[in-house]
Amino acid sequence: MTDQSNTPVTSRSGGRAARRAARAASLPDALRPIRPGLSGGSYKPLSDADIQRIHHAALEALETIGLADAPESGIAILTQAGAILGEDGRLRFPRAMVEDALAKACTDITLCGRDPAYDLHLNGTRTHYGTAGAAVSLVDVTNQTYRDSTLQDLHDAARIAHQLDNVHFVQRPMVARDIPDNREMDLNTVYACCSGTKKHVGTSFTEPAFVPDALELLHMIAGGEAQWRARPFVSNSNCFVVPPMKFATEACQVMEACIQGGMPVLLLSAGMAGATTPSTVAGAITQATAECLAGLVYVNAISPGHPAIFGTWPFGLDLRTGAMSIGSAEQALLTAGCAQMHQFYGLPGGAAAGGADSKLPDMQAGWEMMCTNVTAGLAGVNMIYEAAGMHASLLGFCHESLILGDDLIGHAMRVVRGIEVNDETIALDQMREVCLGGPGHYLGTSQTLARMQCDYVYPALGDRTSPKEWAEVGKPDLVAKATARKEEILAQRAEARFDPMVDAQIRARFKIHLAP
């Protein structure tokens, strides 16, 4: 056995210290290994011929099947634009009408944050990850139980997400079940999210009559209607259809009011494969595409070029039980195929990924969340919704899982970024320097130190210690570390809180349930 007791370690420990110092130094955004808007698009489960077949099938469905249950206002808007109202009450859409709407549609959207640093630019295959959903429960990881979600839980989720670099937007992930009045719930949802984060916020409205009040609240936050219309920092997540192939009457009226108020809209078709869409992956994508094309026609008949996200969100279904299977491989394929349809039309698109069927942030949740988040990013979905925090097939939201999701999404984004191949990254000059009379390793070289931060992603909470080191520091638990991080964030005042005078004006006008 070789005696290594006198082996010098100075150079290695010095290199480690240098690497730690380099990791601690902040980089300009352009040099960060991951950042919002990285381009995906390398994963293409559909061939060009497949895309064409789905496209033509969607057009045929709109022309021959059409959609039922449009509100009277929608019937007037759509028939004036060329739709045909049948004796069966269904609106049918000639192909030329759909093609005309596609020509008018907005193909490059900026979703604004309250702070321009958080603006999201949606085009091509630029990817962004964020929260979404309407979970009715909060996951208590300490007791491993579920309880009704509250407005404070929602506000805390926004505050936490604001501190997470890889969560790029905050669409309402929970319902404030402690507010029974729907109008007050909708207005307080806007208040809770916007006072928790300066990132872009997405929300829904229960009834069209609530939209004017919400717009008034947003004008107050923005500093006036003109300021709001110049930079609308909240979008309307709008389930304008009830699959299969029916308009959601009140949601359509909400959409009309939001468009008139200058609010971007997410056209959300959320069918369930085997229940409210065909059970096949291709069939579910086709129906979602047809429904969203109908929504696109609707939006552009009201206001040509209004910012609208093509939100094909078909969900998987466990056909053995009838339960949702959002953490499945089928869900990954549904989302990736939808991304290809967004890109085929040249439209900013959104879809669901990152949710778990698992009830807790455990190993099952990890594989479910990573599988769909990676494939969605590689497919180039512009807005990846429900990417962190969602459990129990969207019934539960978990603050600790949101924090852990920041690490998980970071690794997914690094995969999306891919491999850069050029003279510098091939590093033949380094091989010569190290191997021909050099130290025989690359630790501590200037090139290694220079690229360790711009090429590599390091987990904030994930553990990479040796078993010995892990034991020495008390065998830290991942979820416990996330809880500690949550408590650290929530112990600080929210960075996004409103100016006290503005907040006082809002509270004088509206019943705000959060304590000042």
pLDDT digits (tens, 9 = 90+) for 237-248: 999 999 999 999
pLDDT digits (tens, 9 = 90+) for 472-496: 999 999 999 999 999 999 999 999 9
pLDDT digits (tens, 9 = 90+) for 155-195: 999 999 999 999 999 999 999 999 999 999 999 999 999 99
pLDDT at residue 8, rounded to an integer? 38
Four-point Cα dihedral 109, 114, 115, 120, nearest 10: -20
Burial zone of 1 (CB within 10 Å; 0-12 exposed, 13-18 middle, 19+ buried): exposed
pLDDT digits (tens, 9 = 90+) for 210-227: 999 999 999 999 999 999
If DSSP codes are grouped into helix, strand and coil, which group holds residue 356?
A: coil
Identify the architecture of domain 106-417 in CATH.
Answer: Alpha-Beta Barrel (3.20)
pLDDT at residue 16, rounded to an integer? 56
**Residue range(s) in the chain whose domain bears CATH number 3.20.20.480:** 106-417
Alpha-helical (H) ranges within 25-110 are 48-64, 72-81, 95-104
Alpha-helical (H) ranges within 114-248 are 151-162, 182-194, 211-222, 225-230
Average pLDDT of every residue of the chain: 94
Task: Give 499-507 contacts, CB < 8 A, sequence gap 24+.
Answer: 502/220, 502/221, 503/195, 505/220, 506/191, 506/217, 506/220, 506/221
* CA 288 to centroid of chain Cα atoms: 18
pLDDT digits (tens, 9 = 90+) for 259-279: 999 999 999 999 999 999 999
Q: Which residues pair with 269 in a beta bridge?
A: 312
